[in-house]
Amino acid sequence: MSHDSGEHQTTDSNSKNLPDICNVNNENRPILPSASTSNFQSSKSRRLSSWSINIVNDPDYAEIIKEAERAIEHGVLPVRIAVGSSGSYFVRNCEGKNIGVFKPKDEEPYARFNPKWSKWIQRNLFPCCFGRGCLVNNQGYLSEAGASIIDEKLRLNIVPKTHVVRLTAESFNYPAHHRLFLTTKRRTNVIVDRHMPGKRIFALEGLRSKVGSFQLFVDNYISADDFIKQLEEQPLPGEAMEKFQKQFEKLVVLDYIIRNTGHFLSIISNVK
């Protein structure tokens, strides 16, 4: 992927070129094929690193990724989601409408750049109480994409489409020294350009892109916690209740197949 290509790249989670990830537990070791150093060359955009889109047979999804990139380029940055144990973000289009949820690999609960301080304290001071021992570190984003693939293969239609992508935005959680170096370089170039127009000292590399899962946003859904409270106050009519039960049974089957241990009252339900 090249910054000068003017395109964006998305890694298809179903690609045959993905390496064996079974023994990759170190968050510093890349799970996906690493890009060459030329991928991180400067771009005129202060916020966005451009990539080449490559989503096999999915032009609609590719267009949504382009919308997200255009919005970031125009300053409509992803918004961090307050709930949850890791860094996840609502990604918006240029109109400010949510179009996806992005979960970076390096902001997962076990990762170095998880912005949730409560989890950092729990991980470092009370490791025996942190998380579920059955989980493999820093592979949650692959599980998100994998669940979408299996859902599609089984035609259950209960998981929003999800792929592994790369995004760059200043609202993501980057190391402080990366931001400081970038700001210093920009300010230095501005000062130099002021006295010597067209000249600059530093070739800005910008913030590095983050790999993670991008799940399409769905409207008219609420958390299961709120839905159950509504259900207790106003039960569904017979036909709607039967439909809900079938959907719930599909979810149970999918969770059993993919060995999902993370569904509590945070799952979402359609309120239509």
Please give the span between the terminal C-alpha atoms of the chain, in angstroms, as a whole number: 41
Q: CA 267 to CA 227: how far, in whole Å?
A: 10
Q: Give the gyration radius of the chain's Cα atoms.
A: 21
Judge whether 71 lies within some domain: yes
What pLDDT, on the 0 to 100 scale, is given for residue 6?
Answer: 38
What pLDDT, on the 0 to 100 scale, is given for residue 135?
Answer: 59
- Side by side, the strands of the sheet bearing 210-216 are 10-11, 162-167, 210-216, 98-104, 89-92, 79-80
State whether 157 and 266 are in the same domain.
Answer: no
Measured from the Cβ of residue 57, the count of other Cβ atoms closer than 10 Å reads 7
State whether 24 and 126 are in the same domain.
Answer: yes
Judge whether 190 lies within some domain: no
What pLDDT, on the 0 to 100 scale, is given for residue 102?
Answer: 96
What pLDDT, on the 0 to 100 scale, is given for residue 99?
Answer: 96
State whether 11 and 106 are in the same domain.
Answer: yes
State whether 96 and 10 are in the same domain.
Answer: yes
Domain of residue 242 covers 220-272
Judge whether 188 lies within some domain: no
pTM of the prediction? Answer: 0.68
- List, run by run, the mean pLDDT of 10-residue segments along the chain (272 residues): 41 42 45 42 39 62 93 93 88 95 90 80 69 65 89 89 92 87 83 81 77 91 76 83 86 81 57 52
Judge whether 202 lies within some domain: no
State whether 157 and 255 are in the same domain.
Answer: no
Q: In angstroms, what CA-CA distances link 259 with 22, 51, 84, 161? A: 15, 33, 20, 19
pLDDT tens-digit profile of 124-174?
Answer: 777 666 555 555 667 888 888 988 999 999 888 889 999 999 999 989 999
Amino acid at position 100, single letter: G
State the DSSP H helix or E strand holding residue 21, giving kind and residue range, or none if neither: none
| C-alpha angle 113-80-100 in degrees, rounded to nearest 5 | 110
Beta carbons of 109 and 27 less than 8 angstroms apart: no
What is the β-pairing status of strands 10-11 and 162-167? antiparallel
What pLDDT, on the 0 to 100 scale, is given for residue 45?
Answer: 40
State whether 54 and 163 are in the same domain.
Answer: yes
What pLDDT, on the 0 to 100 scale, is given for residue 42?
Answer: 40
Q: How many domains does the chain have?
A: 2
87 SS3 class: coil
State the DSSP H helix or E strand holding residue 50, giving kind and residue range, or none if neither: none
What is the β-pairing status of strands 210-216 and 98-104? antiparallel
- Nearest to residue 172, comparing CAs of 254, 111, 88, 101? 88
